[in-house]
Amino acid sequence: MLILRRSEIRQRVQEEAERLERVEARLRQIEQEEDMSKYDVVVKHVEAFKVASVRGVVPTPPEQGGLWGELEGYLATKRVRPIGPCLSLYHDDEAKERDWDIEVCEPIEANVAESQRVKVRVLPDVASMACVVHHGPFTTIGEAYDAVSKWISGNGYHITGPAREVYVKATENGNQTDPDTVTEIQFPVEKG
């Protein structure tokens, strides 16, 4: 009788262990769903291109409008039109509370003389650029930065230069809450 009872208890323990494993598997799945990013990171080659730019230190990224005003005003006086989406380069190694080193850029073809503030240069060819596209207002762009940063470190890459924000579909008048904004965030990266 005790042998039969032992066999029944072992059977129940095995069934409960299997049930516990299914519960734990479901919990892991739920945790991963919460951590799964809505952003797809792509590594691509970005060719070199010429830009006109103005670089300066601004209190926070949303306050870069003055730099854009300088650049666009200068290009307008020279009758130079951009040939593609404008972009910002973030020269700081990490996000800061204040005093961001930002360079605003307009891609151009024309030859234009530089001024004291407006520089013309070629952004270098980048063999491996980790990129993510953010659809939505700038007020939520931190989610995209978090996603690409986690992807870079989680896949054995390291950042080799300034981050780029390419304004694929820009806002009117720097509206930070425009839900129709499309921004591509790019980080030059290398394995290792």
> For a pLDDT cut of 90, what percent of the chain falls above it?
65
Residues in the chain: 192
Could you give the CA distance from residue 64 to residue 99 in angstroms, rounded to a whole number?
A: 11
H helix or E strand, kind and range, residue 23:
helix 2-35
At the fourth CATH level, the homologous superfamily of domain 42-191 is Regulatory factor, effector binding domain (3.20.80.10)
List helix spans (H) across 108-191. Answer: 142-154
Mean pLDDT estimate for the chain: 90
Q: With 0-12 CB in 10 A as exposed, 13-18 as middle and 19+ as buried, what is 173?
A: exposed
Phi and psi (nearest 5°) for 182?
A: -125, 120
Q: How many whole angstroms separate alpha carbon 95 and alpha carbon 80?
A: 33
Angle at the Cα of 164 (from 158 to 168), degrees rounded to 5? Answer: 135
The predicted model scores a pTM of 0.79
Contact present, 50 and 110 (Cβ < 8 Å): no
Cα angle: 138, vertex 139, 143; to 5 degrees: 85
3-class secondary structure, 90: strand
Tokens of 67: 């730099």
Which has the minimum average pLDDT: 73-87, 96-110, 113-127, 171-185? 171-185
Per-residue pLDDT of 34-93, as tens digits, reads 555 678 899 999 999 999 999 999 999 989 999 999 999 999 999 999 999 999 999 998
pLDDT in tens, 147-181: 899 889 888 899 999 999 999 998 766 667 788 89
**CB distance 171 to 129 below 8 Å:** no
- For residues 112 and 80, the answer to whether their CB atoms sit within 8 Å is yes
φ, ψ for residue 52 (rounded to 5)?
-105, 140
Domain range summary for the chain, segments of one domain joined by +: 42-191
Residue 29: which pLDDT band, with cuts at 50, 70 and 90?
A: low
